[in-house]
Amino acid sequence: MSHLTPQPPQVPRYRGFNRVGGPYGISIGPFGRRVSAAPAAGPLLALVLGSLAVVAAVLARLGVLLGGADPVEAGAVQLLVLIGLLAIESAAVLITLELVARGRIDRAGSYRRL
């Protein structure tokens, strides 16, 4: 990677797990666990936006232009791809956050049956 490539922000590895699994994780109950895990989702969504800027912005437009479409159609396809990727990656962050808050995923990364 060159020095011009945007770099994603560094996220502390177990921020959500430390908040939920800390000494107060049991005493605040199920809703408190969800509230204490929610701040960890912000940096994850920042990583999603960084990946959108690098990958989808270039490849969607280039592929359509090479296929013979005019620039307006290429821009429309690029916008559709950006919105689709943002929706899918945001849903993945929310599902992961919910699984962490419910205790289905723990610090070791093991997965418990729902």
pLDDT computed for residue 108 by the predictor: 62
Q: CA torsion, points 87, 93, 94, 96, in degrees to nearest 10?
A: 140
Q: 108 versus 81: which is more confidently predicted?
A: 81
Of 41, 43, 34, 50, nearest in space to 86 by CA: 50
pLDDT computed for residue 59 by the predictor: 74
88 CA to centre of own chain: 9
Of 53, 41, 33, nearest in space to 90 by CA: 41
Which residues have a Cβ under 8 Å from the Cβ of 31 and sit 6 or more positions away? none
pLDDT computed for residue 67 by the predictor: 83
Domain ranges of the chain: 41-102
Segment 89-108, tens digit of pLDDT: 888 888 888 887 777 776 66
Q: Is residue 23 predicted with pLDDT exceeding 50?
A: no
